[in-house]
Structure 1
Amino acid sequence: MKIIIAPDSFKGSLTAREAANAIEEGILRVIPDAQCVTVPMADGGEGTVRSLVDATHGDFAVARVTNPLGQKVDAVYGILGDGETAVIEMAAASGIQFVDDETKNPLITTTYGTGELILDALDHGVKHIIVGLGGSATNDAGAGMAQALGVHLVDSFGTDLPFGGAALANLASIDTSQIDPRLADVDITLASDVTNPLVGEQGASAVFGPQKGATPSMVLTLDAALTHFTEVVKVSCDRDIAQLPGAGAAGGLGAGFLAFTHAQMKPGVSIVTQATGLEEKAKGCDYCFTGEGGIDSQTRFGKTPMGVVQAVKSASPDCKTIALAGQVSRDVQQLYSVGFDAIFGILPRTMSVKDAISQAYENVANTAENVARIISWNESVK
């Protein structure tokens, strides 16, 4: 019996690898001869680096970079098992965790550190870079990232702009002649499920700016600055990025990549399923276990378990797909029509959040064991 085990993390309690190990442990208690193939998963957001490194037997790299406030920090990214693919979470260098209520200020925060991570990956000789967009403290349209890569954003006096989205209001011209030439030989894939454009009512500043500390007046300032940025990009780079779907991701970092590199944007979970080779590994499987912290009707819109189910069913249409979750919504019945065969909550009783987190591994393993008992009985009566 072949069983694919491909969960996302159970946020706040288990990494995707730990969740996969717990599921495998529970299954093997009952079906010790099962061929379990573990593939830790993610959707392009938090945990993607660890999941892909674990799934491909890769390694981690550490670089000294600039955080959103201009301070030096150590940031971790991954080199996958093929030795040619780097996976970077922009939040590792430019994330919201680097600011607090007193220091968050999207007028001045920068993505410069994300660009430095890319440079470090290039130093490792990679040919493909996956960048997870999300969790940013920035709203600079990727200007800082571009500056780190060698792009000169200058004002009317020929002076390089300072960090931050507000400074883009003074942008006069863009010089890309000194951008790192190695980028021409590297494929960049942007992992994001955000489809917001860069500017306007649904743009980066209006929708995500307030989460990063932007007041209503700051939102207007930032949106105007980013709009001006798009106009200069159109003249200097012949690229119209203002309304591209996903350009507003991570404070407009998506726009910066689309303006200055040949990056392509894809849904996060599809990138992860491809990078892990999930579909190939799922060929001939009988059962699939997936899951994450919470499952509801929205799971079908690009969440990890949905991506897993689609990939597995594509490879093995008769495979039975089972999802485990810490919290299962009442509306999950909608998921049974899109490929899920069964969904189980892992909590054995009502318990505090603290206990649910501390006992997560045990609860996942025990639930997997109970499901495996049903599977074992079902197989015995066939």
Structure 2
Amino acid sequence: MEHLRIVVCPDSFKGSLSASEVASAVADGVLDVAPDAVVTCLPMADGGEGTLDALLAVWGVEPLTVSTVDAIGRPTSARWAVSPDGRTAVVELAEASGLPGVADAPLQPLHASTRGTGDLARAALDAGVAEILVCLGGSASTDGGSGILTGLGARLLDADGNQVPDGGEGLASVASLDLSGLHPRAREVRWRLAVDVTNPLVGELGAARVFGPQKGARGGDAEFLDGALRHWAEVLERETGAAVGQVPGTGAAGGVPAGLIAVLGAETTPGALLVAEAVGLPAALASADLVITGEGSFDSQSVNGKVADGVARLAAASPTRPPVVVVAGQVLLPEAQARAAGIAAAFSIAPGPVELDDLIARTAPRLRDLAAAVTSLVTAGRR
């Protein structure tokens, strides 16, 4: 009998283990039962927070660091990475412009910006890469991507020719866009934006109204920011010809895709699929007998653009169509819905009623035991 070929491609278990640590624990469990199995570990992410770490683990490269500013303008440092072949840079928005970086200060929904992420993107352009992956998630701002463009040398001017301040509030007074100082390579590279929502830039389902409250928008703030983004969309269309106000996905990360699509020709991609391509998952699945993925909570969100959904779709499209098994901290999705999404089975690491703190403290050994049990079932079936 040929050696069992298993691809282990989990997301992180937030608050407990990174995707790389989850993959390692699962691999250990597989090898406990099937020491001759060929196990390929490809830590995954959905394009939000944790994506940079997942790619660093798979690529085996060290992160690079840039001195920049956080979402409210304070000096900070942030990481980014370049693929081993030097062609692709990964910039994670949460590194410089995310909510975790400003957790120690009052939220500033009208003034927070993505300028720090623009500094990371500038460093990537200076490094000579051909493609920049921007991972959108955990944003602290609603600035329509204007901060990133400013960091790359663009100038947003008011009716008097003065540069408007950073943040969503400044968008309301933008009269023109000066791109003469834009980084010379900004429009030469391919920009790919990892998104996990389909919300448009403006309207009831737009960036400000849906996600603004998470970033501190209170009272009339969300309505004001929606109007500012609507005005920003009008300016972008007048200056670039791109109508971005209702494009699905432009509401991600406070509207970042809108500015980057209009000015840089960026394209949006479901985050999990973008990461899968970057780590080489489709090729690995082509010869797999079994796929084990996982995340902290397996629920309805999991089969709507998250890692498990992306893995299941790619597995169904691969030549061997390997079964996909999910391991999770908790399983909340009904079995019928999981099967309909292409998931063969989903198992929780909880042995029964257990306190959350205990579950978190013992996530790794429980993942190892669960992976061993799953592998035992699979090997028994093969015999």
Sequence identity percentage: 41
Alpha-carbon separation, structure 2, partners of 1:177 and 1:311: 42
Aligned to 1:182, the other structure's residue is in SS state coil
Give the equivalent residue in structure 2 for 1:130. 133
- The residue type paired with residue 128 of structure 2 is G
Q: Which consecutive aligned stretches of 4+ in structure 1 deviate over 3 angstroms post-superposition?
A: none
Alpha-carbon separation, structure 1, partners of 2:78 and 2:156: 25
Per-residue deviation at 1:332? 3.2
- Of 290, 294, 297, the match for 1:294: 297
- Of 177, 186, 190, the match for 1:187: 190
Would you say the 8 A contact 1:295–1:332 is kept in 2? no
Alpha-carbon separation, structure 1, partners of 2:300 and 2:105: 37
Deviations along 1:164-217, one digit per CA (max 9) or x if unpaired, are 111122112111122111122211100002211112221111111111111131
Per-residue deviation at 1:57? 2.4
Alpha-carbon separation, structure 2, partners of 1:156 and 1:306: 47
- Of 128, 153, 156, the match for 1:153: 156
1:43 paired with 2:46, answer yes
Alpha-carbon separation, structure 2, partners of 1:236 and 1:330: 46
- The residue type paired with residue 233 of structure 1 is L
How many equivalent residue pairs? 380
Alignment map for 1:337-376 (pairs within 5 Å): 337-376=340-379
Deviations along 1:89-146, one digit per CA (max 9) or x if unpaired, are 1111111123348521111111100100101111222111111112111011111111
Deviations along 1:11-58, one digit per CA (max 9) or x if unpaired, are 111111111111110111111100111111111111111112212223
Consecutive unaligned residues in structure 1, runs of 5 or more: none
1:197 paired with 2:183, answer no
Per-residue deviation at 1:248? 1.4
TM-score with structure 2 setting the length: 0.95
1:250 paired with 2:253, answer yes
Would you say the 8 A contact 1:169–1:225 is kept in 2? yes
Alignment map for 1:99-178 (pairs within 5 Å): 99-100=102-103, 103-178=106-181
- Of 253, 273, 276, the match for 1:273: 276
Give the equivalent residue in structure 2 for 1:309. 312
- The residue type paired with residue 320 of structure 1 is P
CA RMSD of aligned residues (A): 1.5
- The residue type paired with residue 38 of structure 1 is C
Alpha-carbon separation, structure 1, partners of 2:101 and 2:375: 43
Aligned to 2:305, the other structure's residue is in SS state coil
Deviations along 1:250-298, one digit per CA (max 9) or x if unpaired, are 1111111112111100111110111111111122211111111111244
- Of 225, 230, 251, the match for 1:227: 230
Alpha-carbon separation, structure 2, partners of 1:313 and 1:221: 44
Would you say the 8 A contact 2:315–2:323 is kept in 1? no
Would you say the 8 A contact 1:322–1:343 is kept in 2? yes
Alpha-carbon separation, structure 1, partners of 2:77 and 2:173: 31
Deviations along 1:346-380, one digit per CA (max 9) or x if unpaired, are 11232221111111000100101111222222222
1:324 paired with 2:330, answer no
Would you say the 8 A contact 1:285–1:316 is kept in 2? no
Aligned to 2:63, the other structure's residue is in SS state strand
Aligned to 1:378, the other structure's residue is in SS state helix
1:283 paired with 2:291, answer no
Moved more, 92-101 or 356-365: 92-101
- The residue type paired with residue 188 of structure 2 is D
Alpha-carbon separation, structure 2, partners of 1:241 and 1:354: 44
Aligned to 2:84, the other structure's residue is in SS state coil
- The residue type paired with residue 240 of structure 2 is C
Would you say the 8 A contact 2:91–2:135 is kept in 1? yes
- The residue type paired with residue 144 of structure 2 is A
Give the equivalent residue in structure 1 for 2:35. 32
- The residue type paired with residue 263 of structure 1 is A
Alpha-carbon separation, structure 1, partners of 2:341 and 2:96: 37
1:241 paired with 2:253, answer no
Aligned to 1:244, the other structure's residue is in SS state coil
- Of 7, 12, 17, the match for 1:14: 17
Alpha-carbon separation, structure 1, partners of 2:321 and 2:225: 51
Would you say the 8 A contact 1:7–1:41 is kept in 2? yes
TM-score with structure 1 setting the length: 0.96
Give the equivalent residue in structure 2 for 1:91. 94
- The residue type paired with residue 281 of structure 1 is A
